[in-house]
Amino acid sequence: MVNRGIRGATTVTQNEETEILRETVVLLQEIVERNDVIAEDICSVWITMTEDLDATFPARAIREIEGWDLVPLMCSVEIPVKGSLPKCIRLMVQVNTDKSQRDIRHVYLNEAQRLRPDLAQSKS
C-alpha cells in the first residue's frame, strides 16, 4: 500500500453554517464513494476554505460521520489570491491504497468544477 492524495472542492452559495457543513459532507461522501475507501484507510484530511467563509469549522461535519471520529482533520484558510473562486471548500484526503495515481478519482462539485474541468467528471 502507498499513501495517495485525493483532491476535492465544492462551493456554497452563502457563508452559513448549515450549508458549509452539508456541502462538506456531500464532498467527502463523493470522494469516498468514487474511490471506494473507508475511514480506516484515511491517514488524514486537510480542509481549507476561502476567507469569505467563517461561519463554522467544516471539520465538525466530518467528525459527526459514524466511524470518522478518529480520523485526523485540520482546517485552514485558503491562500487569498485575487480573482480566485469565492465561497470554496477544498479537501485533501490522504489515503492508504493500492491504487495508482491514475486510478484516483478527484471530485469537483458545484462551481468548483471550474477549477479543474479536466477532473470534474461524472461518477463513471
Q: Write phi, then psi, for 82 (nearest 5 degrees).
A: -55, 135
Q: Is 7 annotated as a binding residue?
A: yes
Query: Which grid coordinates belong to 59?
Result: 471539520
Say whether 111 is catalytic: no
Q: Write phi, then psi, for 89 (nearest 5 degrees).
A: -115, 130
Say whether 17 is catalytic: no
Q: Is 4 annotated as a binding residue?
A: no
| CA atoms of 8 and 31, how far apart (whole Å) | 7
Considering 4, 23, 34, 90, which one is annotated as catalytic? 90
Say whether 7 is catalytic: yes
Say whether 51 sits in a helix, a strand or coil. coil
Say whether 78 is catalytic: yes
Q: Is 34 annotated as a binding residue?
A: no
Binding site listing: 7, 90, 108
Task: Give the residue ranges of the annotated binding site for prephenate.
Answer: 7, 90, 108
Residues recognised as catalytic: 7, 63, 75, 78, 90, 108, 116
